[in-house]
Amino acid sequence: MELAHGVPSSPKYNLESFNRLVADNQDDIYTLAFMVIGDKDAAERAARTAFMQAYLDLSSGNKQPFHWLVYRALVTAFRQELRRKVSVSQDAELISDEIQRSAWRGLSGLPTDLRLAVALVDLAGLNYEQAAEILGINVRQIRRRLAQARALIHSRIS
């Protein structure tokens, strides 16, 4: 899952360009949100919130890349949704292939911090440094969280 990284070059952020970026990335962001949160409505809210926050950041002059702003806002939205204690359910229509179903079974019971680390590195494809920066932790902590999460996931799907 890789996001389009294009950001308009005009000094004033262009809504049309932003809408193209959203259209190019909305399915991946929604899928990631669903894999972390486990609820269709909550995943839609989280994805919408992340895109809106990224737009606000870009239009106010933030020079961070689009994908970084979306992921950072998505992590915040994940935490908000998970704090609401959204009920976790599996939705076979959205998770069509066996690898994703296995991943969902493994992810669904992980603590939030571990789930976010796995989502950013293993599902979104960010490197350790990028994921650590987005989560506001150091690389050693991201590696530790991933090792813990992967061990828990392995024990659940084996």
Residue ranges of domains in the chain: 15-157
pLDDT of the residue at 141: 96
pLDDT of the residue at 138: 95
Q: So what's the architecture of 15-157 in CATH? A: Up-down Bundle (1.20)
pTM of the model: 0.57
Query: Is residue 69 very low, low, confident or very high in pLDDT (cuts 50, 70, 90)?
Result: confident
Residue 5 pLDDT greater than 80, yes or no:
no
| 37-to-13, 59, 158 alpha-carbon distances in Å | 31, 28, 22
Residue 104 pLDDT greater than 60, yes or no:
yes
Instruction: Give me the mean pLDDT over the 54-60 stretch.
Output: 84
pLDDT of the residue at 103: 62
